[in-house]
Amino acid sequence: MPKVAIVGGGIAGLTAANYLQRANINYTVFEAGDKPGGKLQTEVINGFTLDKGFQVFLTAYPEAKAFLNYNTLNLNYFEPGAMLRLQNRFVEISDPLRQPSKLLSSLVSPVGNWLDKLKLLQLSNALKRLSVAEIFQTPELSTLNDLKRLGFSNKIIERFFKPFLGGIFLEKQLRTSNRMFRFVMKMFAEGSAALPKGGIIKVAEQLANNLPSENIKYQQKVTSIAKGKVQFTKKDHQNFDYILSSINFEKEDTKQYNQVCNLYFAATLAAVKGKKLLLNASGSGLVNNVVFVDEIDSSVVPEGKSLVSVSVIGNPNLSNEKLVTAVQEELSDWFGMAAKTWKHIKTYRIEKALPFCPNINKNITPVEQDGIIYIGDQFTFGSLNAAMESGRKAAGYVQAKLNNH
């Protein structure tokens, strides 16, 4: 019986495994760590549940609907829109189609002019009418140039799009392809941003739990792959007909990645109530966005505590101690001197958080070389949806080849 090896138990590998399982194809997932997820990881420290890097799950992701059960993920939803820190106060920008009562306040907010708000609605409606395939056929230019071409003012670009999209792309110059921008905006227009109860790793765990436990081998570090052969650290190699790998062992990784620092603090109370993302609209400072995570998912904290997630785009040339001090100094301007008393829990410096994608070829076609197919969003563009799509298409390619034999 033909055998398939999947190297890496991240989202792409687990998705491929789910499709191979459905097709009754013999496969084994090899994961170096002791749990699934790859970049989607969560840990618990002193009763606080921390995602390794602030991440949200977008319910409109088309690939996610194939194997994920949203009900059992126990999703906790953000409110549409965001709170922007601007000129020493918070102002709100909302989606008036979902929150009609906030139409007037959104129109008069100083984030942009009324024409900007109209253009935002028009863009949202236009993207809803387009398929994902059509969006990825859009003539390509940078997100910043696309926003200018669409007629948005510099004010809304600086105050809203740069912190909002910058927090998604992890680069505030908005050099990322406008195809990614339009795809992301379509996902926000058609669905909701959410956090699974218990952390983002629950997405990976659900994909893994769909599979027989004996098909996933944890703490199995692969050192190399070659035609039909997977080599391990502590034992002899194993032979396979096809190998799907999220790691390219042959080539040095020359891709450019966007970086992020994610800091967590414990507070007594959430300084801002509500299920909102808080954005830095000032154009200066280290902090890009803040979330009081317990306002979204109360299960992430011990009783009587609040969990503050802070994202700093890039990797500042500061020691962890100095970074914490600088961030708390900024947060004291946002929330008052109490922010300086918040207890630092942990800082994650993620050097390869997302592949930088100034150009995107949406045609994710599996490329086989000597029975090896590479999968994962690092070979396409950075998103959970892209990782799942690469896994699906690689599994489909293998199935087609085996059916033709």
Q: Give the residue extent of every domain in the chain.
A: 3-39+201-255+366-404, 44-76+194-198+257-355, 93-191
Confidence (pLDDT) at 99:
55
Residue 169: per-residue pLDDT: 96
pLDDT for res 94 = 72
Q: Whole-angstrom Cα distance, residue 212 to residue 92?
A: 47
Model confidence at 170: pLDDT above 90: yes
The per-residue pLDDT for 107 is 54
Q: Provide the percentage of residues in the chain whose pLDDT is more than 70.
A: 95
Q: Which CATH superfamily is domain 3-39+201-255+366-404 in?
A: FAD/NAD(P)-binding domain (3.50.50.60)
CA distance 64 to 51: 19
Tens of pLDDT along 263-317? Answer: 999 999 999 999 999 999 999 999 999 999 999 999 999 999 999 999 999 999 9
Q: Give the pLDDT of residue 108.
A: 54
3-state secondary structure 321-347: HHHHHHHHHHHHHHHCHHHHHCEEEEE
The helix/strand/coil state of 268 is coil
Task: Judge contact between 380 and 364, C-beta under 8 A.
Answer: yes
- What distance in Å separates the CA atoms of residue 354 and residue 184, rounded to the nearest whole number? 14
| Residue 7 in tokens | 């190297």
Q: Which of 45-59, 62-76, 290-304, 377-391 has the lowest mean pLDDT?
A: 377-391
Q: What is the pLDDT of residue 361?
A: 76
Q: What's the whole-number average pLDDT of the chain? A: 92
Q: Is the pLDDT of residue 1 over 90?
A: no
**pLDDT exceeds 50 at position 218:** yes
d(CA 243, CA 231): 12
On whether the CB atoms of residues 387 and 376 are closer than 8 A, the answer is yes
Of 72-76, 174-178, 371-375, the poorest mean pLDDT is in 371-375
Residues 6+ apart with CB under 8 A from 338: 267, 271, 332
Give the pair of three-digit tokens for residue 147: 């926003």
Cβ burial 112-136 (10 Å sphere, 16+ → b, else e): beeebbebbeebbeebeeeebeebb
Answer yes or no: are the C-beta atoms of 55 and 40 closer than 8 Å.
Answer: yes
> Other CB atoms closer than 10 Å to residue 364's CB: what's the count?
20
Give the up-direction half-sphere exposure of residue 102: CA atoms within 13 A in the CB hemisphere. Answer: 17
User: Measuring CA to CA, how many Å separate 24 from each of 211, 373, 395?
Assistant: 12, 19, 11
pLDDT at residue 96, as a whole number: 56
Interhelix angle 114-129/178-190, rounded to 10 degrees, is: 90
* DSSP secondary structure code for residue 157 in this structure: I
The sign of the CA dihedral 170, 172, 175, 178 is positive
- Assess whether pLDDT exceeds 60 at residue 208: yes
Judged by DSSP in three states, 3 sits in strand
Q: What is the pLDDT of residues 329-383, one digit of tens each?
A: 999 999 999 999 999 999 999 999 999 999 987 667 788 888 899 998 877 778 9
Structure tokens at 8: 């890496």
Q: What CATH superfamily is the domain 44-76+194-198+257-355?
A: Protoporphyrinogen oxidase, mitochondrial; domain 2 (3.90.660.20)
Q: Please report the pLDDT score of residue 100 as a whole number.
A: 46
**pLDDT in the model for residue 234:** 67
Is pLDDT larger for residue 335 or for residue 91? 335
Distance between CA atoms of 3 and 242, rounded to whole angstroms? 7
Residue 126 confidence (pLDDT):
95
Res. 102 pLDDT band, cuts 50 70 90: low
